[in-house]
Amino acid sequence: MKFDLVIRDGNVVTATEEVFCDIGIEGGTITAIGKKLPSGEREIDANGDYVFPGGIDAHTHIEQISSTGLMCADDFYTGTVSAAHGGTTTILSFAAQHKGDSLRAVLVDYHTRAKTKAVIDYGFHLIISDPTETVMKDELPELIRNGYTSFKVYMTYDALKLDDYQMLDVFALARKEGALTMIHAENHDLIRWLTDRLLAAGAVAPKFHAVSHPRLAESEATSRAISLAELVDAPCLIVHVSSEEGMEAIRRAQRRGLKVFAETCPQYLFLTADDLDQPDMQGAMCCCSPPPRDEASQEAIWRGLSDGTFQVLSSDHAPYRFDETGKLAQGEDPPFNKIANGVPGLEVRMPLLFSEGVLKGRLDLHRFVELTSTRPAQLYGMFPRKGSISVGADADLVIWDAHKTVTLGWEHLHDNVGYTPYAGRTIQGWPRTVLSRGRVVVDAGELLVEKGSGEFIPREKPSAADPLGREAAEVSLARRFGLEDLW
Amino acid sequence: MKFDLVIRDGNVVTATEEVFCDIGIEGGTITAIGKKLPSGEREIDANGDYVFPGGIDAHTHIEQISSTGLMCADDFYTGTVSAAHGGTTTILSFAAQHKGDSLRAVLVDYHTRAKTKAVIDYGFHLIISDPTETVMKDELPELIRNGYTSFKVYMTYDALKLDDYQMLDVFALARKEGALTMIHAENHDLIRWLTDRLLAAGAVAPKFHAVSHPRLAESEATSRAISLAELVDAPCLIVHVSSEEGMEAIRRAQRRGLKVFAETCPQYLFLTADDLDQPDMQGAMCCCSPPPRDEASQEAIWRGLSDGTFQVLSSDHAPYRFDETGKLAQGEDPPFNKIANGVPGLEVRMPLLFSEGVLKGRLDLHRFVELTSTRPAQLYGMFPRKGSISVGADADLVIWDAHKTVTLGWEHLHDNVGYTPYAGRTIQGWPRTVLSRGRVVVDAGELLVEKGSGEFIPREKPSAADPLGREAAEVSLARRFGLEDLW
Amino acid sequence: MKFDLVIRDGNVVTATEEVFCDIGIEGGTITAIGKKLPSGEREIDANGDYVFPGGIDAHTHIEQISSTGLMCADDFYTGTVSAAHGGTTTILSFAAQHKGDSLRAVLVDYHTRAKTKAVIDYGFHLIISDPTETVMKDELPELIRNGYTSFKVYMTYDALKLDDYQMLDVFALARKEGALTMIHAENHDLIRWLTDRLLAAGAVAPKFHAVSHPRLAESEATSRAISLAELVDAPCLIVHVSSEEGMEAIRRAQRRGLKVFAETCPQYLFLTADDLDQPDMQGAMCCCSPPPRDEASQEAIWRGLSDGTFQVLSSDHAPYRFDETGKLAQGEDPPFNKIANGVPGLEVRMPLLFSEGVLKGRLDLHRFVELTSTRPAQLYGMFPRKGSISVGADADLVIWDAHKTVTLGWEHLHDNVGYTPYAGRTIQGWPRTVLSRGRVVVDAGELLVEKGSGEFIPREKPSAADPLGREAAEVSLARRFGLEDLW
Amino acid sequence: MKFDLVIRDGNVVTATEEVFCDIGIEGGTITAIGKKLPSGEREIDANGDYVFPGGIDAHTHIEQISSTGLMCADDFYTGTVSAAHGGTTTILSFAAQHKGDSLRAVLVDYHTRAKTKAVIDYGFHLIISDPTETVMKDELPELIRNGYTSFKVYMTYDALKLDDYQMLDVFALARKEGALTMIHAENHDLIRWLTDRLLAAGAVAPKFHAVSHPRLAESEATSRAISLAELVDAPCLIVHVSSEEGMEAIRRAQRRGLKVFAETCPQYLFLTADDLDQPDMQGAMCCCSPPPRDEASQEAIWRGLSDGTFQVLSSDHAPYRFDETGKLAQGEDPPFNKIANGVPGLEVRMPLLFSEGVLKGRLDLHRFVELTSTRPAQLYGMFPRKGSISVGADADLVIWDAHKTVTLGWEHLHDNVGYTPYAGRTIQGWPRTVLSRGRVVVDAGELLVEKGSGEFIPREKPSAADPLGREAAEVSLARRFGLEDLW
């Protein structure tokens, strides 16, 4: 029993426990947790500060190229550096298929982007926009077995949208192969219809983006996705839920015992549609889909974080600069539907939740850990390697200065976006030291590791991917009519 | 005060009252209700039997030609004769637009079919399958004003299906012009997907029709239609609801105070999916969409009739003979998805509900009247001319022999279908005398009026078409952002 | 066919229809409804005004003596005169048993009070406060058969309260004999506990009455009463519901199909707890139990009137003068728990609902008629003699001036209370002519009948008293264990 | 870092993690968890078996004397020995106040009973049956501070029952002092009423106990208790929930965000009312309150364990021998209401849940740990000292033989009851070695510690005792009316 590194005297907080103790690390892995552990080659005195499992940001867009050819402002270097400064030690990013793409080729591409730049660990969700027979029968089953055990599908956006038929194909495959399907749930036609009416009325300002993506678009699509998933008994996870109306569809399913999981993001806790109503196109900085709603929605989302409706808090970091490379790529003064969608938030995700959630009494420490780390690790097949402070886990740890006061501003952040929607907000609590596999990535605000030192994490079958084993009525009927296996 | 006709000593039953009295009729209209009315030129002694408002069958397919060119087995003569024998004095039938059709031309056509044949009164719902700009801006607004104040849209069937965008157009128009939208709510892709899987598995028998149209297809589409209607604050009426799952989506909306109405049909009270599982393609006779479910669903539908979830019981009479002119038009042994959809039921609708609903204690007499006559009249803009026994109303009346026992068989019915799915069932209660505008249409099983003596009923604004005046959240937001009128 | 009286050219409104016609009356009964009826000995030209069924106020305290010996300010003369001026032609009042009283003796007493004074028809609910064996086995069954087919029990007030055991006795009897149980549902201990805490804190002002009777007291007791009724499958009617919390318990039961009915009163639509917060004890004028709540509750109650949660709008007229004979009988400055409970409202009940409900678009005319007349008649066993404009019904009619504007003030009312809580409110619509059994009781604000000309109405089995026929689980278990009849 | 004892190579399972590692123990406490820990003075090879936190049975009746003077069959020796053999290392037992008792005296008494006999650790819940002023103002506040941080109140049983007023007193005190109130929720009057009717009908057999305690008695009282607790914003825990009806009241509260917790017991998972229907009074062995229900209820309870409605699985071990010292103390052939209430189950609690819950796929391992150990420890203020395998926790551990098959029979158990209701049932999984504070209490079925070696555990403020901070509407109203502090 000897240690490369010992974290001394931490208030070690997990999803369940809070323990004052030491953590012994060897070869990047936690090998002992105890009182007065023997010395390590190196020691860090946590000095009674909280030690959390390193954050997992399960929804980030990094160095991703959009269907219109737009490149994200953050590459795997700036993205992971920013994440690390905010306490996140693993990101899941998207490898996005465009129509016609081979999934394997897409992955080769994204691996190339990440490998030499990432400073923390990472994995990929696939985005399936073109579920051809090759993709579905050949590529995807193999890729799932190779550790890409989750994928996202879109119910909106012309270039990405699957129809209900294709979604059923995806759900059936996910169920069969043990993968988890993430869903961007907004009704495409409803958004198109409103957009057409708005543009026709000359309502082109960024704020009308919020009008064009109503809650009903979200709740309808959420409800529909759940019905499709239920038919084939496939679990699903609804990403970036923004409203009580969306939550209600999810809760209804959860109460019926369906395996429906849900994620929300800081923008739905801290922004409202009014943030899109600013002079000089600046509202564009807060344009994302679904859009922020209102204060009542924020309160509803907080309740959902506390009552278990949500399992995951991600950033949905979608970094676009407020210029012609990003938000304004389609013109200086584009109508709302030509503004690049997304807000940045990778670095502030955990500090915002700690300050406004834990310190304001909305969540306890354990729920904070669950939402930012443990549950994403479980749901996406990385637990207990990630998301856990336990023997055998990767030594991904954040020592947290719970007293530090920070007034947010982009100039103190490490992404490449040029602004933060949370500028000016004063919060309390910030990571002091961040470790990834035992390496000190960030200490006292300083980056201490090499570019490219992050590793790819192939993922196991997500805990969330287990079907319920409960058949839809007509599947049972088929069985009664002699048909053993419908899919 | 003199009467052409007096109905003497009836137990006159309306949606609210039951009164022993006489009814005086002049010029086809009820002009007095009273004790010991003066003599009329003619008198009918009701002899204490129930007198109900004549039935309104608000959902029938008569002399309708399908998108594949298939003609219904009943024309406006056999259809209305059959209806009249069953106590129905008004039918609403469909004038079906096929892609490319002008609505006005379609109506000219259907009027021609009906005018010389109908023996009772009739009106038309339009079926909108091609909402072109001409249709939406020019034809439909005018037609609504001319008395075609309701239309049906389909969410499934390749040739008829509207997408969500088009449905929003229709709802917005209906709201603006004061019409009511009826919805065939089943998810098209879900049905296609299951059908493809079933056919691929060689599961082609009629019984697999029931598997291919699951409750989830119905509940999903119902829920979606309601969301779309809610966005524009347009009332809607979900036709032929078959399952508790569909009802649940409707109830949820009703509890929230939305204007969502619902219809069900005898096939969902008396048939199950097992009726599709018969030798020699005979199951085809019970193929309709949505399909019959199971006994638990039947009980659920009965509850919905009694608790107010449903306002309307229609037949959805869709007459196809069990031969090459109908059910088997696409081959002698077609796969389930090539069987013409629909079951007959125009004549047995009221007797079945009376016998199994009223006499078995599931509904009282007033609810029976509401479901078969009063509420359809109100919802579709014919009240109090139709659906009412009150002064000024058309003298559409049924004198009901509540004691007569009938064993159902097609040979005793008057449609042109050649079978009835309810054959062999013994029920109690049957119309004795049926009057339409004071004319005795049927008496003691004999038809007493001329072909073509029925009249077209132009309809007022349906009571159901009044919007709620409650704005969706984002419509309010648009208003707050300065946009007064979004549609 | 000759008439004592013909009402000419009315817009006759019932729960279902609105018809322009005449009404022929003979011997106090409607004998014909028609166009251009023959002349009557007397005629009243309705001139196109609405003709409603005379109002039924199903919850009034008239000439009632409280357990502390306090006599109501209105006797059967002032009470019925006031009712008639407001459009009400039948009242149901309470014959209140005090501990030790024989029910028969109580009724003799109340009949004596009413017989020589009432100007409109009346019936009695019994109040059961002492369900002795004699009462339960001997008196009550006979009285029910004699037309006292409903009774009220209290869950609070020291002198009146039944415990749960006694309530089960009452429900079981009501079920067996076909009577309807009305329930004052508030949790006694909860109110006592709060009252003790409030008094101990010196919080004695009238406004603290509202604090001492919280919604939880109402919703708890409502929920409990429903459970007790469910055990023995007895219908029940919750009187004077004040809050959404109480409604929620009722709706839950209604959704489960239980026979639970509900009444609310004008004070819950137009007053709030703030009306109890006035200088110089004046808040005492608005002290009633349950107390008025807040504006959100008012909106909830309106929704409940429109969505069918409520079947009955009564006044709960409880007339106490603001002096030592009434509100202040226990001292000039009594603590809130010593103030006589109740507010007047008999005369303004229908005008308030018409003006604020119908004219403001919250209810249609038919719902107005249902709530004020038809449904009370049905639920309490007087239909169709009362509550109906149909042949054979009593000619109890109100011709309504829908245009008259009235600013409410006690000086224009006809009760003996000395104030109205609605003073200063301007409303539109007031009865023009009020008929009871064909007699013109009030015309143009003038009383035209003799004292004592009202009649007692023995009541049939209430429609609401039919049990559901659904057994509680353990009753079925008892049956399975061989016990056929548990009560 | 030296260890008294090292558990080697366990599959250590907590509420969140499953880790293959060693556990180092010093002075009865876990001081390290790690891979290849240094040797301890003593070592136990877990050999890959599961290591769970020692079970906590939070609801046991041991050496308790009833209000009728009946002594439980198990004293603190047989009770704790039996518990330990089943994997339980801490029990919470009741110190029961009878009317007139001083709480302090009661505790002295129970401490005396336990101190010299218990072989595992124990704590006491108080039973409050006589909340006198001395008890409420003097004794209870001090006792809460001394570690008796929870108490149970009864809503039924003549000798124990509190009325609603007293319950409010208790809730208000619990809230103020930071204690948790446990509730036996059954409606007393409802049970009395049914009992009287049953006895009058001669239905005296044990099976009628199940009829006399219906679900409605449970759901009503549960709902009422929650309303009372809500008024004062006090958390509560409903013990021994038996039915979906009871669960539904709990879920409704949980969905509204109230702090309502719930416990169930093996008898509601494995017995039904039919187990009371046995020859020769043997049904008496399964008489407990609430009684077991039916198979649908069992399934509902399983769902509640899995979906989070329940936090705690306890035994409610109430040991009465089937003879004149116990079940039949009031006669050889007593009517059902004279049979001592309760079933034994202390020893089989964890094995039953493991075999039928975990191995049958209804619960995962972590939920098993939560329900049997972690959540009780948290809710009752013993966490993380108990209920946790973490550094600093008591070394209360169970090494579990997941493969051992056992056919249950009382002769293999260690309690003093003489029968088990689960006899004949074959289950899989049984504790191999059980440690309490590092001491091997049981190994391979053999007891290895001294009588009296268990310790009393004074408890902290339960996590469950934190109020919500949400005021009832009328409390806010009181504040608005100027009354700062109502209790």
The 3-class secondary structure across chain D, one letter per residue, is CCEEEEEEEEEEECCCCEEEEEEEEECCEEEEEECCCCCEEEEEECCCCEEEECEEEEEECCCCECCCCCECCCCHHHHHHHHHHCCEEEEEEEEECCCCCCHHHHHHHHHHHHHCCCCCEEEEEEECCCCCHHHHHHHHHHHHHCCCCEEEEECCCCCCECCHHHHHHHHHHHHHHCCEEEEECCCHHHHHHHHHHHHHCCCCCCHHHHHHCCHHHHHHHHHHHHHHHHHHCCCEEECCCCCHHHHHHHHHHHHCCCCEEEEECCHHHHCCHHHHCCCCCHHHHHCCCCCCCCHHHHHHHHHHHHHCCCCEECCCECCCCCCCCCCCCCCCCCCHHHCCCCECCCCCHHHHHHHHHHCCCCCCHHHHHHHHHHHHHHHCCCCCCCCCCCCCCECCEEEEEEEEEEECCHHHCCCCCCCCCCCCCEEEEEEEEEEECCEEEEECCEECCCCCCCCECCCCCCHHHCCCCCCCHHHHHHHHCCCCCCC
| Best to test chain A binding among B153, B161, B481 (most A CBs inside 10 Å) | B481
Q: Which residue of A has its CA nearest to B201?
A: A486
* Neighboring chain B residues of C308 at a CB cutoff of 8 Å: 308
- Per residue in B457-477, pLDDT tens? 999 999 888 888 889 999 999
C33 neighbourhood in chain B, CB within 8 Å? 32-34, 390-391
- Residue D484 confidence (pLDDT): 85
From D439, D464, D438, D302, select the one nearest D377 (Cα to Cα): D464
The overall average pLDDT reported for chain A is: 97
Residue D300 has which token pair? 């509902």
Residues on chain B touching A277 (C-beta within 8 angstroms):
481
Residue A403 in 3-state DSSP? strand
When scoring D1, D2, D11, D374 by the number of chain A Cβ atoms within 10 A, the one with the most, hence best to mutate, is: D1
- Give the nearest partner residue to A32 out of D15, D32, D307, using CB atoms: D32
Pick from D70, D69, D73, D85: which is nearest to D120 by CA? D85
Distance from C-alpha of A244 to C-alpha of A304, rounded to nearest angstrom: 9
> What six digits make up the tokens of D283?
């049904």
Are D32 and A33 an interchain contact pair (Cβ–Cβ within 8 Å)?
Answer: yes
Helix (H, G, I), strand (E, B) or coil at B38: coil
Task: Please tell me which residue of chain A has the smallest CA distance to D13.
Answer: A390
Q: Looking at the complex, report in whole angstroms how far the Cα of residue A35 sits from the nearest Cα belonging to chain D.
A: 5
User: Which pLDDT band, with edges at 50, 70 and 90, does B25 fall under?
Assistant: very high
The pLDDT of C42-63, averaged and rounded, is 98
Q: Please judge whether A190 and B214 are an interchain contact, meaning their C-beta atoms are less than 8 angstroms apart.
A: no
The SS3 of residue A27 is coil
Q: In angstroms, rounded to a whole number, what is the distance separating the alpha carbons of residues B323 and C18? A: 49
**Residue range B121-134, pLDDT digits in tens:** 999 999 999 999 99
Chain A residues close to B277, C-beta within 8 Å = 481
Using one digit for the tens of pLDDT, what is the confidence trace for A303-343? 999 999 999 999 999 999 999 999 999 999 999 999 999 99
| Cis amide linkage into residue B384, ω under 30° from 0 | yes
Q: What angle do CA A473, A474, A479 make, to 5 degrees?
A: 105
Tokens found for residue A179:
């993968």
Across the interface, whether the CB atoms of D219 and C227 are under 8 A apart is answered: yes
Q: Which residues pair with D95 in a beta bridge?
A: D126
The separation between the first and the last C-alpha atoms of chain D, rounded to the nearest angstrom, is: 52
Contacts of C188 in chain D (CB under 8 A): 164
Residue B258's CB: how many other CB atoms inside 10 A? 18
Instruction: With CB atoms and an 8 Å threshold, state whether A216 touches B472.
Output: yes
CB contact under 8 A, C37 and B1: yes
pLDDT digits (tens, 9 = 90+) for D427-468: 999 999 999 999 999 999 999 999 999 999 999 999 888 888
| Chain A residues within 8 A of B201 when measuring between CB atoms | 483, 485-486
Task: Identify the contact set of chain C against chain B, taking CB-CB distances under 8 A.
Answer: 1, 14-21, 24, 31-38, 257, 303, 307-308, 374, 384, 388, 390-392
Buried b (16+ CB within 10 A) or exposed e, C54-90: bbbbbbbbbbbebeeebebbbbbbbbbbbbbbbbbbb
pLDDT value of position D487:
75
Task: Label residue B164 by pLDDT band (50, 70, 90).
Answer: very high
Distance, CA of C472 to CA of D215 (rounded, Å): 9
The pLDDT tens digits of the residues spanning C272-308 come to: 999 999 999 999 999 999 999 999 999 999 999 999 9
Interatomic CA distance for residues B205 and A481, integer angstroms: 10
Catalogue the E-assigned strands of C211-254.
236-238
Give the closest-approach CA distance of C231 to chain D in angstroms.
7
Rounded mean pLDDT, A32-61: 97
Question: In Å, how far is C239's CA from the nearest CA of chain D?
Answer: 20
Determine the residue of chain D that is closest to A30 in CA distance. Answer: D34
**Which residues from A are below 8 Å from D371, CB to CB?**
none
In the predicted model, is pLDDT for residue B224 greater than 80?
Answer: yes
Residue from B13, B14, B16 to probe the interface with C (highest C Cβ count within 10 Å): B16
pLDDT confidence of residue A193? 98
For chain B, give the mean pLDDT: 97
Contact at CB, B227 and A216, closer than 8 angstroms: yes
pLDDT band at residue B487 using 50, 70 and 90 as cut-offs: confident
Q: Which residue of B has its CA nearest to C309?
A: B255
C211, C215, C472 member nearest D478 (Cβ): C211
Contact by Cβ (8 Å): B370, B52: no
Distance of alpha carbon D410 from the chain centroid: 21
Asked if D211 and C474 come within 8 Å (Cβ–Cβ), the reply is yes
**pLDDT tens digits for A440-455?**
999 999 999 999 999 9
How many cross-chain Cβ pairs, C to D, lie less than 8 Å apart?
A: 150
* Averaged pLDDT, A148-158: 97
Question: For the residues D203-225, what does the mean pLDDT come to?
Answer: 98
- Regarding chains D and B, contact by 3 or more CB pairs under 8 A is answered as no
Which of B3, B390, B468 to mutate against chain C (most C CBs within 10 Å)? B390
Averaged pLDDT for residues D215-219: 98
Percent of the residues in chain C that have a pLDDT greater than 70, as a whole number? 100
Using CB atoms, which residue from D303, D388, D392 is nearest to A257?
Answer: D303
Is A224 a residue whose pLDDT tops 90?
yes
Q: Model confidence over D83-117: pLDDT tens digits?
A: 999 999 999 999 999 999 999 999 999 999 999 99
Which tokens is D371 given? Answer: 């329900």
Q: Alpha carbon of B261 to those of A473, B236, B449: distances in Å? A: 25, 6, 35
Confidence bin at B485 (pLDDT 50/70/90): confident
Torsion-angle region of D140 (φ positive above 0: left; ψ -120 to 50: alpha; else: beta):
alpha
Question: Mean of the pLDDT values across residues C358-368?
Answer: 97
A·B CB contacts under 8 A = 147
Interface of D with A (CB under 8 A): 1, 14-21, 24, 31-38, 257, 303, 307-308, 374, 384, 388, 390-392
Give the whole-angstrom CA distance, residue D474 versus residue D231: 9
* pLDDT at res. A415: 98
CB-CB under 8 Å, D1 with A303: no
Tell me the C-alpha distance between C408 and B377, whole Å: 40
**Strand duo D29-34 + A29-34: pairing:** antiparallel
Strands A180-184 and A150-154, sheet pairing? parallel
Residues 6+ positions from C480 with CB-CB distance below 8 Å: none
Strand order in the sheet with B88-96: B55-60, B88-96, B121-127, B150-154, B180-184, B236-238, B260-264, B312-313
Q: What is the mean pLDDT of residues C228-246?
A: 98
Residue B292, token pair as written in the block: 């019959």
Summarised one tens digit per residue, pLDDT across range C460-477 is 999 888 888 889 999 999
Looking at the partner chain, which of D165, D194, D220 has a beta carbon nearest the beta carbon of C189? D165
Average pLDDT, chain C: 97
Using a pLDDT cut of 90, give the percent of chain B over it.
96
Distance, in Å, from the CA atom of B146 to the CA atom of B460, rounded to the nearest integer, reads 9
Instruction: Say if residue C184's pLDDT is above 90.
Output: yes
Contacts of C20 in chain B (CB under 8 A): 392
Neighbours of chain B (3+ CB pairs under 8 A): A, C
> Do residue A478 and residue B208 have CB atoms under 8 angstroms apart?
yes
pLDDT digits (tens, 9 = 90+) for B405-457: 999 999 999 999 999 999 999 999 999 999 999 999 999 999 999 999 999 99
Of C211, C472, C474, the CB nearest to D481: C211
pLDDT of A77 > 90? The answer is yes
Is pLDDT at D285 greater than 90 in this prediction?
yes
Probe site for chain B from C6, C7, C17 (most B CB atoms < 10 A): C17
Q: Which residue of B has its CA nearest to A487?
A: B197
* Residues of chain D positioned with their CB less than 8 A from the CB of A391: 19, 21, 33-35
How confident is the model over A154-196, as pLDDT tens digits?
999 999 999 999 999 999 999 999 999 999 999 999 999 999 9
Beta carbons of C257 and B308 less than 8 Å apart? no
Report d(CA D352, CA D357) in Å as an integer.
8
Question: pLDDT tens, A82-99?
Answer: 999 999 999 999 999 999
Angle separating helix axes B188-200 and A215-231, nearest 10 degrees? 20
Q: What are the φ and ψ backbone dihedral angles of C122, each rounded to 5 degrees?
A: -150, 155
Interchain contact C/A (3 or more Cβ pairs less than 8 Å): no
- The stretch B338-346 carries a mean pLDDT of 96
Measured distance CA(A87)–CA(A277) in Å, rounded: 32
CA-to-CA dists, residue A448 to A55, A119, A433, C206, D379, angstroms: 18, 9, 10, 70, 43
Residue A1 scores a pLDDT above 80 = no
The answer to whether the CB of A177 falls within 8 A of the CB of A214 is no
Phi, psi at residue C298, to the nearest 5°?
Answer: -55, -45
User: CB-hemisphere CA count at 13 Å for B239?
Assistant: 22
What's the predicted TM-score (pTM) here? 0.96
Q: How far from the centroid of its chain's Cα atoms is residue D453's Cα?
A: 22
Among candidates A415, A293, A317, which has minimal Cα distance to A60? A317
Q: Half-sphere exposure of C101 toward its Cβ, with a 13 Å CA cutoff?
A: 24
- Checking if the pLDDT of B260 tops 80, the result is yes
Picking from D16, D34, D384, the nearest residue to A391 by CB comes out as D34
- Could A169 and B487 be called an inter-chain contact, meaning their C-beta atoms sit closer than 8 Å? no
Percent of chain D past pLDDT 70, that is, above it, reads 100
Task: Return the structure tokens found at D100.
Answer: 């007139």
CATH number belonging to the domain at A54-381, selected among 3.40.190.10, 3.10.20.600, 3.40.309.10, 3.20.20.140: 3.20.20.140
| Per-position DSSP letters for B231-243, written without gaps between them | HHT--EEE-S--S
Does C214 contact D197 at a Cβ distance shorter than 8 Å?
Answer: no
- Note whether A477 contacts B211, CB cutoff 8 Å: yes
Distance CA D90, CA D52 (A): 13
Q: What percent of chain C has pLDDT over 90?
A: 96
CA C361 to chain centre: 24
Residue A357 to chain B, least CA–CA distance (Å): 27
Residue C39 burial (CB count, 10 A):
11
Instruction: DSSP letter for A79, please.
Output: H
What is the pLDDT at residue C221? 98
